[in-house]
Amino acid sequence: MDNLQYEEEGRTELSQLGEFALINRLTDGFKTQNKSTVKGVGDDCAVIGTGKKKTVVSTDTLVEGVHFDMMYTPLKHLGYKAVATSLSNIAAMNAIPRQVLVSVAVSNRFSVEALEELYAGIRICCERYDVDLVGGDTNTSLSGIIITVTSIGEVDKERITYRKGAQLHDLICVSGDLGSAYSGLLVLEREKVTYQANPNFQPDLDSYDYILERYLKPEPRIDIVKMLAEKDIVPTSMIDVSDGLASELLHICKQSDCGCEVYEEKLPIDYQTTRVCSEMSKNMLPVSNALNGGEDYELLFTISQKDYDKLKDSKEITIIGHITEKGMPAVMVTPQNTTITLVAQGWQAHEE
Ligand code: ADP
Ligand code: MG
């Protein structure tokens, strides 16, 4: 048998499926058989262990040219971001990260010093979040650099928060602000085009410092996980915002078997995000960046109404809507009281 047979009849293009359908198709036939496997595929992390404390594990890969452009991504930032975005999956389970494993595949375009720079960033992030680097793998790639970070965390059994679990009338909360990382990326892309046209051009990026940092150096919201524990709140569901608010709300609704309503004027959007949108084009709306931009790495979660008082004064958390009945769609209500049905953007395989 050779792989060519898959090129003939019955070939399905990756672009026909999209990421989530592909994962389902590949993993559907796998049944878990170990008692210590509490949760397998389908959430931000797998949950394992037989004791009161559970271990959560997640792995994510960043590919040069797909997830980042070396032209405007300093290697130190890249190392930091690879770890930070992986730790965000641990936070999304309401868990505290403890260890990471880092695998890199690099071409000979990179020097030892360049890789040391990458690891300097990895180290800063590990130190900042009290995480231990405990292993990994080193390989050659034919072109470019690929980084995989596996994160391990722990959480008391009764505090684990899945994507499922949202209940009718629960409040929908989000940390920080939305759309800023994508707006930062738009600025970097714009400056890249200008630089390619004129290499003497010196970009003035100072006034975009916040959104650039949001894109280049995101932070996992471990602080929110700790705050929730201090306030004695266990969210009913949670996910991190990696693909954009719309896509993550749809995950929560699908897995919790419910609908939701969020209010456009409640969405937390930074003024630099709004400014970039108005600079780019009249048709670019900040709310679109918030819904579909992605890479915010904020936490999106639902709480029972009885916990409202504990969160209502938090500067870090915004309540953006509520959960509606099973069978209802996921919608956003505009200030004009129009209802817009949310659709997922997220990842799609690229057409070659
Ligand atoms: P995230 O956006 O948080 O990285 P993903 O969409 O990548 O999550 O993954 C969704 C779920 O599918 C996770 O539980 C993940 O572990 C699982 N998953 C993704 N890709 C694969 C794969 N190739 N094989 C097995 N499980 C996978
Ligand atoms: Mg993933």
pLDDT greater than 90 at residue 9: no
Provide the percentage of residues in the chain whose pLDDT is more than 90: 85
213 lines ligand 1 (CB under 6 A): no
pTM of the predicted model, to two decimals? 0.94
Atom 4 of ligand 1, nearest CA residue: 60
CA of 207 to the centre of ligand 1 (A): 36
Cα(140)–Cα(247) distance, integer angstroms: 34
For ligand 1, what atom is nearest to the CA of residue 27?
A: 25
pLDDT greater than 60 at residue 313: yes
Ligand nearest to the CA of 240: 1
Cα(202)–Cα(211) distance, integer angstroms: 19
For 17-40, how does the pLDDT look when each residue is reduced to its tens digit (9 = 90+)?
Answer: 988 899 999 999 999 999 999 999
Return the C-alpha torsion angle 202, 203, 206, 209, nearest 10. Answer: -140
27 lines ligand 1 (CB under 6 A): yes
CA of 147 to the centre of ligand 2 (A): 13
Contact assessment for residue 18 and residue 350, using Cβ atoms and an 8 Å cutoff: no
pLDDT greater than 80 at residue 91: yes
pLDDT greater than 60 at residue 268: yes
Kindly state the tokens that stand for 54. Answer: 């559970």
Ligand nearest to the CA of 58: 1
pLDDT at 205: 79
117 lines ligand 1 (CB under 6 A): no
Query: b/e map of 290-325 (b: 16 or more CB within 10 Å)?
Result: bbbbbbbbbbbbbbeeebeeebeeeebbbbbbbbbe
pLDDT at 197: 84
> How large is the average pLDDT for residues 147-155?
98
Ligand nearest to the CA of 251: 1
More reliable by pLDDT, 8 or 337: 337
The per-residue pLDDT of the chain, averaged, comes to 93
CA of 95 to the centre of ligand 1 (A): 18
pLDDT at 3: 67
pLDDT greater than 60 at residue 350: no
Tallying the residues shown for the chain, one arrives at 352
> How large is the average pLDDT for residues 180-196?
91
43 lines ligand 1 (CB under 6 A): yes
For ligand 1, what atom is nearest to the CA of residue 19?
A: 6
pLDDT at 352: 37
pLDDT greater than 60 at residue 145: yes
Task: Kindly indicate the confidence band of residue 2, based on its pLDDT and cuts at 50, 70 and 90.
Answer: low
> How large is the average pLDDT for residues 97-115?
97
pLDDT at 5: 61
CA of 302 to the centre of ligand 2 (A): 22
pLDDT at 282: 80
Candidate of 14, 31, 41 to mutate for ligand 1, largest count of ligand atoms within 8 Å of Cβ? 41
CA of 23 to the centre of ligand 1 (A): 7
